[in-house]
Amino acid sequence: MNKTLLIASKFIAYSTVLFLLPFWVLAYLDPMASMNIDSIGLIPSETAQIIGLSNIRGSIGGLRLAIIALIIIGTYYKKRDVLLSVAILVGTVSAGRFISLAIDGWELIGFITAAGEVIITTSLLYIRSSISNENKK
């Protein structure tokens, strides 16, 4: 692989992380905050509702599709790293739900969803460890 391309790709990936970090922290701590793409002056404010719907469809829909794809790829091809990645992803979503329960108050459906995601995470980690044991035999 071209070393310059690798350096450029890492720069883009790390810059993305640094750009999204404050949005992620604010989404966890205050999801109704006005720190979104229109509040930093990149788009006119009258398009904020459309951008908000696009963010929900893109982020939430994309997250769910990525989880589905990673579970299928990890289990079918017996890829331990992929299973670990999706377990981290689902576990982090679950942590966000528990944080919301603590900050915003108790809600049964939120707890059931978060508990289900803990079960999914545990199952994925168990499948990952069983693949490890199969490879050792």
* pLDDT tens per residue, range 112-121: 999 999 999 9
DSSP element (H, E) containing 75: helix 62-76
Q: Decide: helix, strand or coil at residue 137.
A: coil
| 55 plus 112 within the same structural domain | yes
Spatial distance between the Cα atoms of 100 and 90, rounded to a whole number of angstroms = 15
Q: Six-digit token pair at 45?
A: 């404010």
CA torsion sign for 34, 35, 38, 40 is: positive
**pLDDT at position 32:** 65
DSSP element (H, E) containing 132: helix 108-136
pLDDT band at 50 (very low <50, low <70, confident <90, very high): low
Residue carrying structure tokens 């794809």? 69
User: Mean pLDDT over all residues of the chain?
Assistant: 81
| 79 plus 125 within the same structural domain | yes
| 52 plus 95 within the same structural domain | yes
- Residue 99 gets which letter from DSSP? H
**pLDDT at position 60:** 81
- Residue-range definition of the domain harbouring residue 94: 44-136
Check residues 111 and 18 and name the one with the higher pLDDT.
111
| 85 plus 61 within the same structural domain | yes
Report pLDDT digits (tens) over 86-109.
999 999 999 999 999 998 899 999
Rounded (5°) CA angle 80-97-87: 0
**pLDDT at position 95:** 93
Residue 61's Cβ-count burial label (10 Å; 0-12, 13-18, 19+) is: exposed
| 83 plus 17 within the same structural domain | no
Domain count, the chain: 2
Q: Six-digit token pair at 135?
A: 């490879």
Spatial distance between the Cα atoms of 104 and 85, rounded to a whole number of angstroms = 28
